[in-house]
């Protein structure tokens, strides 16, 4: 898995947690939330676990019909993602540096 996949997965997981938190604050089960937006309970579970990336209209319909504050969930996701993704960026940068040094040494040996 590459860094982009890792970051996208992390983003989807953080967003799903925010959606789950809001649903639980409203005392809604996944089944009840799914019914209100003509969807399946499994879809709600996949969304909340970061396994589903729905389109904007689907998110709007889900949030509107369930009283979920979508802009708030998105804002919180961006804040938390920025904090959590920083260590992944550092690791990726360290790997790039290590690869650069290794490749530079190989090039010098060939001369």
> Domains of the chain by range and CATH?
3-85 (1.10.260.40)
Sign of CA dihedral 72, 56, 85, 24: positive
The pTM of the full predicted model, rounded to 2 decimals, is 0.71
How high is the pLDDT of residue 108?
61
Determine contact, residues 75/41, Cβ cutoff 8 Å.
no
Per-residue model confidence as pLDDT tens digits over 61-95 = 999 999 999 999 999 998 888 877 666 555 566 66
How high is the pLDDT of residue 8?
85
pLDDT exceeds cutoff 80 at 16: yes
Across the range 24-52, mean pLDDT stands at 94
3-state SS record for 41-81 = HHHHHHHHCCCCCCCHHHHHHHHHHHCCCHHHHHHHHHHHH
């Amino acid at each position: 898995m590459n860094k982009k996949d890792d970051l996208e997965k992390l983003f989807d997981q953080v967003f799903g947690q925010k959606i789950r938190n809001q649903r639980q604050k409203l005392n809604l089960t996944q089944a009840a939330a799914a019914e209100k937006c003509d969807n399946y309970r499994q879809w709600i579970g996949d969304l909340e676990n970061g396994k589903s990336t729905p389109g904007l209209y689907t998110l709007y319909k889900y949030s509107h019909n369930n009283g979920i504050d979508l802009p708030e969930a998105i804002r919180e996701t961006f804040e938390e993602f920025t904090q959590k993704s920083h260590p992944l960026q550092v690791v990726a940068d360290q790997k790039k540096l290590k690869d650069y040094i290794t490749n530079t040494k190989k090039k010098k040996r060939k001369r």
